[in-house]
Amino acid sequence: MTEPRFPGYRVLEPLAGGAISTLYKAVQESTGRVVVLKSLKPTIAHDSPFAAQLDREKRTLAALAHPNVVLLVDAGPGVRDGPDRPFIVIEWVEGTSLRALLAKEKCLDPEVACAIACELADALEHVHARGFVHKDVKPDNVLLARGGEVKLIDFGIATRARAKEATAILPVDERGALAMAEGFGTPAYMSPEQILGDELDGRSDLFSLGVLLYEMLTGQLPFDARPGKDGGRERGRVVRLQRDTLVPLRERAHDVPRALEHVVHRMLERTPRDRIQRVEDAAADLAGFVSARTTTERRRVVRRALHDAGLVKDTRRAATKSRPAARAWIRPEIKTALGFLGIGAAAVALFAWNERGLPQRSDRASAAAAGLPLAPRSPGFLRVMAAPWAEVWIDGEHVETTPFARAIALPPGTHHVTLRHPRAEAERRAVTVVAGETVTLDVRMGAIADEPADEPAADGGDDVGAGDATPAD
């Protein structure tokens, strides 16, 4: 069978296929980089709703730029641009899918599950801030890169928030997949309002994320698959509409703390107004849980889980394990001398900062000395707005890129904030936060160099495409 041809790309192999589209691993001939190419099946008419779906996915991805969202690299002809088969090109992610990890491990340690959920929540926060709802958050649409990065993929059915859902109630098979057609989502992970065809907003994705987190923690879906009159299991149409079918999380995973169970259950409330209202609020709760359990960066937590499952070979972890033995010979008096040298270097650095005109700190317990904790005790909060956009650096650490809705939790005290834009002078501020209170920093970046400001690019790297074989629709 002859592989299809796409201008500027050389197909290496098919990755996955459905009734609507096919995913190929390919090489971009102009750069030599590996990508994933998603193309309509030749049997799909260019004027069909499914062809328009690929166009919507292209436009949605073009509006997004976030390290936890798969990056749009290129796009071929549109459905109305000629006879050539429409296609889009997305980054290649070297790794595996969350579905593959769950198939290997069934359920994950709470800190691993929450680390993945936090990264997905960050992605969804960006998606919602851009006015979209993903509508298909599930393990198959989550890629885990070799380095531990988490990527949300497949925006084929994403829509604008508050758009009325077109699926209404559709029959499903035993796996919770639509029996009539592809491309409408997976009822096992859909919110009740999505199944009923109501208007959707970010709370619908929050429900789906709750289902996903429950599955990661227990290895099972949260709602009993009770047999219907025909003996089938209609998770999408019946079970979610019954008030008594949520199985308490701790009945299936006894080691999960009650506080975490409470967060998950709030994400799974059937009525949108009863749920946690914003995905960033859920992310803050989950990040607090992760930081209380481990001081390891979330990406490293995920990378370690992939290594332990045998899905990637983590040479960096092995190197880290060998370091304590290499330091064991250092004599105590040398360690003490090195400690004093480190203190002296820190003092010189603080003096240099103050010489540049930055205010001196009023609180030495601020976060800079040891890095910003993910969930400090008795935190204050900083909300940052910058026009047109800026990288936010706090006490020398890059913590976010605007726009973002979530307030940043900080230890009480004075913090040095730097806002950076590639075509503007850096803006520096000293901000004092008080426990329990929120400070808003609203800054317009200085003169931008005579051309429109670009949106910040996603950290896609040179390797582009989707690593594991993932569903095409």
Is residue 97 a contact partner of residue 252, using CB atoms and an 8 Å limit?
no
- pLDDT one-digit tens code per residue, 200-211: 999 999 999 999
**Which 8-state DSSP code applies to residue 331?**
-
Confidence of residue 471 (pLDDT cuts 50, 70, 90): very low
Amino acid 74 reads: D
Average pLDDT, the chain: 77
At 300-309, the pLDDT tens digits run 999 999 999 9
Q: What is the mean pLDDT of residues 173-201?
A: 68
DSSP assignment of 124-140? HHHHHHTTEE----SGG
Of the listed ranges 19-23, 42-46, 229-233, the least confidently predicted one is 229-233
The whole-number pLDDT of residue 51 equals: 79
Between the alpha carbon of residue 275 and those of residues 105, 202, 206, 264, 328, the distances in Å are 29, 11, 8, 10, 51
pLDDT tens digits, 171-180? 444 334 333 3
Secondary structure (H, E, C), 368-432: HHHCCCCCCCCCEEEEEEEECCCEEEECCEEEEECCCCCCEEECCEEEEEEEEECCEEEEEEEEE
Helix axis angle, 110-129 relative to 202-218, nearest 10°? 170
Taking 50 as the threshold, does the pLDDT of residue 107 lie above it? yes
pLDDT band at 426 (very low <50, low <70, confident <90, very high): confident
CA distance 193 to 195: 5
In this structure, how many other beta carbons lie within 10 angstroms of the beta carbon of residue 401? 22
Mean pLDDT, range 106-122, rounded to an integer: 95
Q: What is the largest CA-CA distance in the chain?
A: 78
Task: Report the percentage of the chain scoring pLDDT > 70.
Answer: 69
Instruction: Write down the pLDDT at residue 169.
Output: 42
The single residue listed with the structure tokens 């531990």 is: 148
Residue with the larger pLDDT of the pair 469 and 364: 469
**Residue 441 in contact with residue 417, Cβ under 8 Å?**
yes
Active site residue 363: no
Whether 151 contacts 93, CB under 8 Å: yes
Catalytic hit among 136, 285, 314, 473: 136
User: What band does 377 get if pLDDT is binned at 50, 70 and 90?
Assistant: low
Q: Is the pLDDT of residue 224 over 70?
A: no
Contact 382, 433 (CB under 8 A): yes
Token pair for residue 151?
């990527």
pLDDT band at 126 (very low <50, low <70, confident <90, very high): very high
pLDDT of residue 47 exceeding 80: no
Percent of the chain with pLDDT over 90: 41
> Which of 110, 284, 272 has its CA nearest to residue 201?
272
Q: Determine which helix (DSSP H) or strand (DSSP E) holds 206, and give its type and residue range.
A: helix 202-218
**pLDDT band at residue 388 under the 50/70/90 scheme:** confident
> Bridge-partner residues for 133, per DSSP?
159
Whether residue 340 has pLDDT greater than 80: no
pLDDT of 275 > 50? The answer is yes
Angle at 128 between CA 439 and CA 222, to 5 degrees: 105
Confidence of residue 147 (pLDDT cuts 50, 70, 90): very high
Instruction: Pick from 227-236, 398-407, 447-456 the range whose average pLDDT is largest.
Output: 398-407
Secondary element (H or E) of residue 36: strand 34-40
Is 404's pLDDT higher than 90?
no
Question: Hey, is 310 helix, strand or coil?
Answer: coil
